[in-house]
Amino acid sequence: MKKQFTGLVILLASVGFAHQPFWNPGSPSLEQAYRILEPTVSKVVTSQVNAGQLGFYVLELAAGFVLDLGLFVGAACPPAFQPRMWLVGPGLEGNERPPFAIPGGMGAKVFAGGWRDYRGHGLVARQGPELRERLRGGTYYVVVEAGNAAGYYMLSLAGAEVPGGTPEGRAALARFNRCG
């Protein structure tokens, strides 16, 4: 048991050094969006949603910034938990209408599907939609749509590897892997 615990601590520590881990306790609306600071720095934000809920994130991006995001869910979460990820901002056009109001002058694009098993960086997960978009700059929102199931998810933001994060973010990694 001690050996397994030591291995888990090492794996979780490696995740903390690979990306800055943060915990989002809930961001159910555009007005209450979780602010992702320093989008040029690699980080993971873990959160939980119930069936039918949304999680909102806001980023301020420079013109020409390439936003590189991935969405993961805990492998222990129900197989039906396959959230969709929306990108909302200026100059975006999509082929679906989002299940939330978008600010004037902005468009929305959905990223869905692609779910596959993932093991790495101390995670036992399923990796889903990914987006890599060069953006014109300004305020952008990322919205995670739970769908018909509940669970833990993680947004992974690519960027420079800089130590940091929060104790709450590191603690959330174990809950993510257990989906509870």
Any idea how long the chain is? 180
The boundaries of the domain holding residue 63 are 2-178
Could you tell me the CATH number of the domain that includes residue 49? 2.60.120.380
pLDDT tens per residue across all 180 residues of the chain: 444 333 333 344 444 446 899 999 999 999 999 999 999 999 999 999 999 999 999 999 999 999 999 999 999 999 999 999 999 999 999 889 999 999 999 999 999 999 999 998 778 899 999 999 999 999 999 999 999 999 999 999 999 999 999 999 999 988 898 887
Quote the pLDDT of residue 18.
Answer: 62
Quote the pLDDT of residue 16.
Answer: 40
Residue among 74, 26, 20, 17 nearest 50 (CA)? 26
The verdict on pTM exceeding 0.85 is yes
Quote the pLDDT of residue 8.
Answer: 38
Q: How many domains does the chain have?
A: 1
Distance, CA of 149 to CA of 53 (rounded, Å) = 9
Distance, CA of 160 to CA of 35 (rounded, Å) = 18
